Amino acid sequence: MTRGALLSLMLAAVAMFAAADGAFSAGDHHAPAADAPKDAEADKAHGEKADKGHGEKAEKDGEAEGEAAAEPEVPLWSEVPAVELEKQPYVLVRALRAIQDEIAGGSLEAHERQRRVMRDMSQQMRALPTVVWDDVRNVRAAIFFVLSGGDPSVLKLVIGREKTPHIERRLVKGALAYGEGRLVDALALMQKMEGRQLDPSLGGMVALIQGTLTAKKDTQKALVYFNEARLLAPGTLVEESALRQQIMILARDGEVEKFDLLASQYSRRFPRSLFARNFRQQFFAGVARQGFKRASEWISRTETELKKVPVSERAGLYLAIAEEALKVGNIGMAQFAAGKARELSTAGSRTLQRATLYEGAAMVATADFEKGQALLASIDVPKLGMSDRQVLESARSVARAVGRWPETSAAPNEPATEAVGRAETLLSQVDSLLEGASQ
């Protein structure tokens, strides 16, 4: 055997052992070593075919992705187009809440702006696709909107949506009834709900409405609702309204100590609220009509509350109290308030003339009728309005009737009785005139 043949034989043996080792390494214990070259060729062919197939698939997938990118995005609910974030009702209502906070802080501009914003919001909500109301956040926003005084027809778009949770469905019905003025239905639907178990965006508002609807029949229950509203919505117009209504309930019930506490809180937390003036007028009217229990204790509270308003407004408020008190025959309060109004009025002003009129009209019905007559005589009549002039004439007639000495007759009590009757008739006329002037 030549050296070249021996070398060839050795190389073949090495190749055979290498092929056998490769097969074991791959785990194919049964494949004969002699077939290894064939398997290698088959694997190579398969790899080339697979690479070609994968390449073709990737090319097709790339084309498919390109086509998909060219097509419009399919919305979550295919029957309607998607809605931009800024048009979502729950986003729109955020602006309304901010405006309400400004109003609680005393912004007249915000109060005027709120009407326009709510009108625009109503139009925007009613123009939205129905799919928007499948989002519970938007349902809650619509409920808040209507309970804030918004257009109740918005909720008619929400009723019947299957995806609305049960508690929100009930609130939708209750808020719709409230917005449409069906207050009995609204209370029946909402009275069993607990504000603390509702979403934070609604809890305080619902508690406020519950208290408002309950106040006439059950003041104690209403106070509980108002406490809940204040707790759930601190610093907002909801708390401001709840405090105002609580204070009036406490005043009517004669809860003087609690009244003092909450009135002080109101003055600290909402000193510039746009509704503070109206609230005080309601309180003063209640004092004047003797509509509050423990009436004798309210004069000092009246002075305390009036010290919280600008000096320039106090005379007018005292005058309003005097007018209201005289109308219902609360002579003591009418005399006190008119006297205060006179002290605060500018010399020669119309306010001074009116204050003198009401103080004099109150005094002619008392033992001080002569002083009352003097006050009535000092009035600069041209500065009075027509209704005030009629009150003046009636008050003078009362003074003449009360101050007239009875004529001597066989029945001495008869003239006195007649004078009293005339005085009562004239006082009734004064009441009627005041009633007409206030309307």
Residue 432 in any domain: the answer is yes
User: What gap in Å lies between CA 428 and CA 432, rounded to an integer?
Assistant: 6
Residue 130 in any domain: the answer is yes
pLDDT over 60 at 334, yes or no: yes
Same domain as 229, residue 175: no
The model's pLDDT over 119-176, given as tens digits with 9 standing for 90+, comes to 999 999 999 998 899 899 999 999 999 999 999 999 999 988 888 889 999 999 999 9
Task: Name the 3-class secondary structure at 107.
Answer: coil
* pLDDT averaged over every residue in the chain: 77
Domain boundary among 162, 190, 218: 190
pLDDT over 70 at 79, yes or no: no
User: What gap in Å lies between CA 295 and CA 336, rounded to an integer?
Assistant: 14
Residue 405 in any domain: the answer is yes
Note whether 356 and 337 are within 8 A (CB): no
Q: Which domain holds residue 227?
A: 204-309
Q: State the pLDDT at residue 80.
A: 44
Same domain as 335, residue 381: yes
What spatial distance separates the first Cα and last Cα of the chain, rounded to whole Å?
A: 140
Domain boundary among 163, 190, 217: 190
Q: Per-residue pLDDT averaged across 356-372, rounded?
A: 86
pLDDT over 60 at 58, yes or no: no
pLDDT over 50 at 32, yes or no: no
Same domain as 428, residue 350: yes
User: What gap in Å lies between CA 116 and CA 108, rounded to an integer?
Assistant: 13
Residue 318 in any domain: the answer is no
Contacts of 152 (CB under 8 A, 6+ apart): 146, 175, 176, 178, 179, 180
Same domain as 426, residue 375: yes
Residue 42 in any domain: the answer is no
The model's pLDDT over 296-318, given as tens digits with 9 standing for 90+, comes to 677 777 888 888 888 888 888 88
Residue 224 in any domain: the answer is yes
Same domain as 290, residue 238: yes
How many domains are contained in the chain?
3
User: What gap in Å lies between CA 172 and CA 187, rounded to an integer?
Assistant: 13
Calculate the alpha carbon distances from 306 to 236, 317, 420 in Å: 24, 8, 37
Same domain as 159, residue 129: yes
Note whether 45 and 63 are within 8 A (CB): no
Same domain as 272, residue 300: yes
**Among the listed residues 150, 222, 169, 165, the one whose alpha carbon sits nearest the alpha carbon of residue 191:** 222
Calculate the alpha carbon distances from 242 to 117, 282, 297 in Å: 24, 15, 24
pLDDT over 70 at 68, yes or no: no
Same domain as 215, residue 184: no
**Among the listed residues 209, 50, 77, the one whose alpha carbon sits nearest the alpha carbon of residue 133:** 77
Residue 364 in any domain: the answer is yes
Report the range of poorest mean pLDDT among 179-193, 298-312, 408-422.
Answer: 408-422
Q: Per-residue pLDDT averaged across 414-421, rounded?
A: 49
User: What gap in Å lies between CA 306 and CA 315, rounded to an integer?
Assistant: 9
Residue 219 in any domain: the answer is yes
Calculate the alpha carbon distances from 149 to 168, 187, 276, 349, 353 in Å: 18, 16, 19, 40, 41
Domain boundary among 260, 275, 309: 309
Q: Per-residue pLDDT averaged across 21-46, rounded?
A: 42
**Among the listed residues 291, 419, 432, 292, the one whose alpha carbon sits nearest the alpha carbon of residue 365:** 419
Residue 221's pLDDT band (boundaries 50, 70, 90)? very high
